[in-house]
Amino acid sequence: MGNSLKDFFRRIDIDYTNFSEDKIIIGDDLVMGAFGDGKNKHCEPSKIENASIMICIKGTMQLSISLEQHEITAPSLITLMPGQIIEYTHLSEDLQCYNISLSKRFIDMINIPGWQQQYMNMYNNPIHPIDEQALRALYIFYTILYQAASNTENPFRLQVIENLIRVFYYGGISNLQQTNNSIPTSKNNIVRRFMDLVQEHYREERLIGFYANKLCITPKYLSKLIKENTGRSAGDWIENHVILEARAMLQSSDMTIQQIASSLNFPNQSFFGKYFKRATGLSPKQYRHNHSK
Protein backbone atom coordinates (compact mmCIF):
# COMPACT_ATOMS: atom_id res chain seq x y z
CA MET A 1 0.00 0.00 0.00
CA GLY A 2 1.25 3.48 -0.84
CA ASN A 3 0.33 4.85 2.58
CA SER A 4 1.38 1.75 4.51
CA LEU A 5 3.37 2.37 7.68
CA LYS A 6 5.70 -0.32 6.41
CA ASP A 7 6.67 2.11 3.66
CA PHE A 8 7.04 5.09 5.98
CA PHE A 9 10.78 4.95 6.53
CA ARG A 10 11.43 3.81 2.97
CA ARG A 11 9.66 6.93 1.68
CA ILE A 12 11.95 9.16 3.76
CA ASP A 13 15.02 7.15 2.79
CA ILE A 14 15.78 5.66 6.20
CA ASP A 15 16.83 2.11 5.53
CA TYR A 16 15.23 -0.56 7.68
CA THR A 17 18.67 -2.15 8.03
CA ASN A 18 19.46 0.70 10.41
CA PHE A 19 16.78 -0.54 12.78
CA SER A 20 17.36 -3.08 15.46
CA GLU A 21 16.50 -6.58 14.33
CA ASP A 22 13.77 -6.52 16.95
CA LYS A 23 11.65 -3.91 15.20
CA ILE A 24 7.91 -4.42 15.54
CA ILE A 25 5.34 -3.97 12.78
CA ILE A 26 1.66 -4.47 13.49
CA GLY A 27 -0.21 -4.35 10.19
CA ASP A 28 -0.51 -0.81 8.90
CA ASP A 29 -1.21 0.59 12.37
CA LEU A 30 2.04 0.64 14.32
CA VAL A 31 5.80 0.50 13.76
CA MET A 32 8.37 0.54 16.56
CA GLY A 33 12.12 0.47 16.15
CA ALA A 34 15.46 2.12 16.80
CA PHE A 35 17.56 3.80 14.16
CA GLY A 36 20.74 5.78 13.90
CA ASP A 37 24.47 5.34 13.16
CA GLY A 38 24.57 8.23 10.69
CA LYS A 39 24.46 6.13 7.51
CA ASN A 40 21.56 8.13 6.08
CA LYS A 41 22.81 11.67 5.61
CA HIS A 42 20.07 13.10 3.40
CA CYS A 43 16.72 12.40 1.83
CA GLU A 44 14.45 14.29 -0.50
CA PRO A 45 11.45 16.14 1.02
CA SER A 46 8.59 13.69 1.56
CA LYS A 47 5.06 14.21 2.89
CA ILE A 48 4.22 11.76 5.64
CA GLU A 49 0.81 10.17 6.10
CA ASN A 50 1.22 8.96 9.69
CA ALA A 51 2.07 10.30 13.13
CA SER A 52 5.58 9.58 14.38
CA ILE A 53 6.97 10.03 17.89
CA MET A 54 10.77 9.99 18.00
CA ILE A 55 12.73 9.81 21.24
CA CYS A 56 16.25 11.05 20.49
CA ILE A 57 18.53 9.79 23.26
CA LYS A 58 21.97 10.41 21.74
CA GLY A 59 23.60 12.45 18.98
CA THR A 60 22.35 15.22 16.72
CA MET A 61 20.40 15.61 13.50
CA GLN A 62 19.46 18.28 11.02
CA LEU A 63 15.83 17.89 10.11
CA SER A 64 13.61 20.00 7.88
CA ILE A 65 9.95 19.88 8.90
CA SER A 66 7.51 21.52 6.50
CA LEU A 67 10.63 23.02 4.86
CA GLU A 68 11.77 24.76 8.07
CA GLN A 69 15.23 23.73 9.28
CA HIS A 70 15.74 22.37 12.81
CA GLU A 71 18.97 21.54 14.61
CA ILE A 72 18.15 18.78 17.09
CA THR A 73 20.37 17.71 19.96
CA ALA A 74 19.63 14.81 22.31
CA PRO A 75 17.80 14.44 24.56
CA SER A 76 14.76 15.53 22.57
CA LEU A 77 11.26 14.40 21.67
CA ILE A 78 10.16 14.90 18.07
CA THR A 79 6.48 14.74 17.16
CA LEU A 80 5.74 14.50 13.44
CA MET A 81 2.15 14.81 12.28
CA PRO A 82 0.34 13.55 9.16
CA GLY A 83 0.60 16.01 6.28
CA GLN A 84 3.99 17.42 7.26
CA ILE A 85 6.86 17.41 4.79
CA ILE A 86 10.12 16.17 6.28
CA GLU A 87 13.69 16.00 5.04
CA TYR A 88 16.72 14.62 6.88
CA THR A 89 19.80 16.60 5.86
CA HIS A 90 22.29 15.15 8.35
CA LEU A 91 22.41 12.45 11.03
CA SER A 92 25.41 12.30 13.35
CA GLU A 93 27.45 9.12 13.54
CA ASP A 94 26.42 8.56 17.17
CA LEU A 95 22.71 9.23 16.61
CA GLN A 96 20.35 6.93 18.46
CA CYS A 97 16.58 7.33 18.34
CA TYR A 98 13.56 5.24 19.20
CA ASN A 99 10.51 5.66 17.04
CA ILE A 100 6.80 4.94 17.42
CA SER A 101 4.74 5.46 14.27
CA LEU A 102 0.95 5.34 14.36
CA SER A 103 -1.54 5.32 11.51
CA LYS A 104 -4.29 7.92 11.46
CA ARG A 105 -6.84 5.10 11.64
CA PHE A 106 -5.24 3.82 14.84
CA ILE A 107 -5.16 7.30 16.40
CA ASP A 108 -8.84 7.82 15.57
CA MET A 109 -9.63 4.42 17.06
CA ILE A 110 -7.94 5.36 20.35
CA ASN A 111 -10.23 8.44 20.46
CA ILE A 112 -8.33 10.64 22.92
CA PRO A 113 -10.33 13.70 24.07
CA GLY A 114 -8.60 16.95 23.14
CA TRP A 115 -6.34 15.23 20.63
CA GLN A 116 -7.19 17.65 17.81
CA GLN A 117 -6.02 20.67 19.80
CA GLN A 118 -2.82 18.88 20.77
CA TYR A 119 -2.37 17.89 17.12
CA MET A 120 -2.30 21.59 16.23
CA ASN A 121 0.29 22.30 18.93
CA MET A 122 2.53 19.47 17.78
CA TYR A 123 2.07 20.36 14.10
CA ASN A 124 3.32 23.89 14.79
CA ASN A 125 5.92 22.95 17.45
CA PRO A 126 7.40 19.54 16.59
CA ILE A 127 10.72 19.75 18.49
CA HIS A 128 10.71 19.37 22.27
CA PRO A 129 14.02 19.46 24.16
CA ILE A 130 13.69 17.38 27.33
CA ASP A 131 15.76 16.83 30.47
CA GLU A 132 17.33 13.57 31.65
CA GLN A 133 14.44 12.81 33.97
CA ALA A 134 11.91 13.11 31.14
CA LEU A 135 14.18 11.03 28.90
CA ARG A 136 14.26 8.21 31.44
CA ALA A 137 10.47 8.28 31.73
CA LEU A 138 10.06 8.17 27.95
CA TYR A 139 12.52 5.31 27.63
CA ILE A 140 10.69 3.34 30.33
CA PHE A 141 7.42 3.93 28.47
CA TYR A 142 8.97 2.83 25.20
CA THR A 143 10.27 -0.35 26.83
CA ILE A 144 6.88 -1.20 28.34
CA LEU A 145 5.11 -0.54 25.04
CA TYR A 146 7.69 -2.59 23.19
CA GLN A 147 7.20 -5.55 25.53
CA ALA A 148 3.42 -5.33 25.15
CA ALA A 149 3.64 -5.13 21.36
CA SER A 150 6.06 -8.07 21.33
CA ASN A 151 3.68 -10.34 23.18
CA THR A 152 1.97 -11.96 20.20
CA GLU A 153 0.46 -14.63 22.47
CA ASN A 154 -1.76 -12.06 24.20
CA PRO A 155 -5.16 -11.97 22.45
CA PHE A 156 -5.68 -8.47 23.85
CA ARG A 157 -2.37 -7.12 22.60
CA LEU A 158 -3.91 -4.31 20.55
CA GLN A 159 -6.12 -3.20 23.44
CA VAL A 160 -3.09 -3.13 25.75
CA ILE A 161 -1.20 -1.00 23.21
CA GLU A 162 -4.14 1.39 22.89
CA ASN A 163 -4.32 1.93 26.65
CA LEU A 164 -0.56 2.35 27.00
CA ILE A 165 -0.61 5.03 24.33
CA ARG A 166 -3.40 6.79 26.22
CA VAL A 167 -1.21 6.70 29.33
CA PHE A 168 1.70 8.10 27.34
CA TYR A 169 -0.50 10.89 25.98
CA TYR A 170 -1.99 11.91 29.33
CA GLY A 171 1.28 11.52 31.21
CA GLY A 172 3.65 13.16 28.76
CA ILE A 173 2.58 14.43 25.36
CA SER A 174 -0.40 16.43 26.63
CA ASN A 175 1.96 18.43 28.87
CA LEU A 176 4.27 19.56 26.06
CA GLN A 177 2.20 22.70 25.60
CA GLN A 178 -0.62 24.06 27.68
CA THR A 179 -3.89 23.55 25.89
CA ASN A 180 -7.50 24.44 26.58
CA ASN A 181 -9.44 21.20 26.54
CA SER A 182 -12.77 22.85 27.33
CA ILE A 183 -13.82 22.95 23.68
CA PRO A 184 -17.12 21.06 23.25
CA THR A 185 -16.84 17.68 21.55
CA SER A 186 -19.11 18.77 18.68
CA LYS A 187 -16.81 21.67 17.83
CA ASN A 188 -13.71 19.50 18.27
CA ASN A 189 -15.17 17.07 15.74
CA ILE A 190 -15.67 19.88 13.23
CA VAL A 191 -12.04 20.96 13.61
CA ARG A 192 -10.86 17.38 13.10
CA ARG A 193 -13.10 16.83 10.09
CA PHE A 194 -11.98 20.14 8.56
CA MET A 195 -8.31 19.14 8.84
CA ASP A 196 -9.08 15.75 7.31
CA LEU A 197 -10.93 17.40 4.41
CA VAL A 198 -8.11 19.86 3.78
CA GLN A 199 -5.55 17.04 3.58
CA GLU A 200 -7.82 15.22 1.15
CA HIS A 201 -8.88 18.10 -1.12
CA TYR A 202 -6.34 20.94 -0.90
CA ARG A 203 -4.95 20.19 -4.37
CA GLU A 204 -8.34 20.79 -5.96
CA GLU A 205 -10.22 23.10 -3.57
CA ARG A 206 -8.93 26.29 -1.98
CA LEU A 207 -12.20 28.06 -1.15
CA ILE A 208 -13.48 27.96 2.43
CA GLY A 209 -17.03 27.60 1.11
CA PHE A 210 -16.25 24.14 -0.26
CA TYR A 211 -15.19 22.87 3.17
CA ALA A 212 -18.03 24.64 4.99
CA ASN A 213 -20.51 23.00 2.62
CA LYS A 214 -19.00 19.59 3.31
CA LEU A 215 -19.38 20.23 7.03
CA CYS A 216 -22.92 21.64 6.67
CA ILE A 217 -22.03 24.96 8.33
CA THR A 218 -21.54 28.50 7.07
CA PRO A 219 -18.11 29.71 5.90
CA LYS A 220 -18.23 32.46 8.52
CA TYR A 221 -18.81 29.99 11.36
CA LEU A 222 -16.11 27.64 10.06
CA SER A 223 -13.59 30.47 9.86
CA LYS A 224 -14.42 31.62 13.40
CA LEU A 225 -14.25 28.09 14.84
CA ILE A 226 -10.92 27.18 13.24
CA LYS A 227 -9.33 30.49 14.23
CA GLU A 228 -10.48 30.20 17.85
CA ASN A 229 -9.28 26.64 18.29
CA THR A 230 -6.08 26.45 16.23
CA GLY A 231 -4.79 30.02 16.28
CA ARG A 232 -4.83 30.09 12.47
CA SER A 233 -7.62 30.81 10.05
CA ALA A 234 -9.22 28.15 7.86
CA GLY A 235 -7.79 29.93 4.83
CA ASP A 236 -4.32 29.81 6.35
CA TRP A 237 -4.54 26.03 6.84
CA ILE A 238 -5.65 25.51 3.25
CA GLU A 239 -2.96 27.83 1.89
CA ASN A 240 -0.31 26.20 4.09
CA HIS A 241 -0.96 22.79 2.54
CA VAL A 242 -0.93 24.20 -1.01
CA ILE A 243 2.26 26.21 -0.53
CA LEU A 244 4.11 23.38 1.22
CA GLU A 245 3.29 21.05 -1.65
CA ALA A 246 4.35 23.66 -4.20
CA ARG A 247 7.62 24.40 -2.38
CA ALA A 248 8.45 20.70 -2.11
CA MET A 249 7.84 20.16 -5.84
CA LEU A 250 9.82 23.25 -6.81
CA GLN A 251 12.70 22.20 -4.57
CA SER A 252 12.95 18.50 -5.27
CA SER A 253 11.23 17.63 -8.55
CA ASP A 254 11.97 18.21 -12.22
CA MET A 255 8.40 19.29 -12.94
CA THR A 256 8.00 22.54 -14.83
CA ILE A 257 6.24 25.43 -13.11
CA GLN A 258 3.34 24.94 -15.51
CA GLN A 259 3.10 21.26 -14.54
CA ILE A 260 3.16 22.14 -10.85
CA ALA A 261 0.44 24.75 -11.37
CA SER A 262 -1.67 22.19 -13.20
CA SER A 263 -1.14 19.48 -10.54
CA LEU A 264 -2.40 21.92 -7.90
CA ASN A 265 -5.44 22.80 -10.03
CA PHE A 266 -4.54 26.42 -10.79
CA PRO A 267 -6.14 27.73 -13.99
CA ASN A 268 -2.77 28.80 -15.39
CA GLN A 269 0.87 29.41 -14.50
CA SER A 270 0.35 33.13 -14.02
CA PHE A 271 -2.38 32.64 -11.43
CA PHE A 272 -0.23 30.12 -9.59
CA GLY A 273 2.74 32.49 -9.67
CA LYS A 274 0.74 35.32 -8.08
CA TYR A 275 -0.68 33.00 -5.40
CA PHE A 276 2.78 31.63 -4.58
CA LYS A 277 4.46 35.05 -4.47
CA ARG A 278 1.76 36.50 -2.23
CA ALA A 279 2.38 33.70 0.27
CA THR A 280 6.18 33.47 0.09
CA GLY A 281 7.41 36.80 -1.25
CA LEU A 282 9.12 35.02 -4.15
CA SER A 283 8.01 33.90 -7.58
CA PRO A 284 8.11 30.13 -8.18
CA LYS A 285 11.12 30.64 -10.46
CA GLN A 286 12.96 32.69 -7.81
CA TYR A 287 12.17 30.13 -5.13
CA ARG A 288 13.45 27.25 -7.25
CA HIS A 289 16.65 29.15 -8.06
CA ASN A 290 17.28 30.04 -4.40
CA HIS A 291 16.70 26.47 -3.21
CA SER A 292 18.31 24.48 -6.00
CA LYS A 293 20.73 21.83 -4.66
Helices 219-230 and 115-124 meet at what angle, rounded to 10?
A: 70
Q: Look at residue 121 and tell me whether its pLDDT is greater than 80.
A: no
Whole-number average pLDDT of the chain: 80
Report the distance separating Cα 247 and Cα 253, nearest Å: 10
pLDDT in tens, 12-37: 444 444 444 467 888 888 889 887 65
Query: For residue 168, what pLDDT band results from cuts at 50, 70 and 90?
Result: confident
pTM of the model: 0.63
Report the distance separating Cα 52 and Cα 254, nearest Å: 29
pLDDT in tens, 47-88: 787 888 999 998 999 888 876 789 999 999 998 988 787 888
CATH architecture of the region 5-175: Sandwich (2.60)
Report the distance separating Cα 121 and Cα 115, nearest Å: 10
What ranges do the domains of the chain cover? 5-175, 187-290
Nearest to 287 by CA among 244, 247, 245: 247
> Which CATH number does the domain 187-290 belong to among 3.30.200.20, 1.10.1040.10, 3.20.20.10, 1.10.10.60?
1.10.10.60
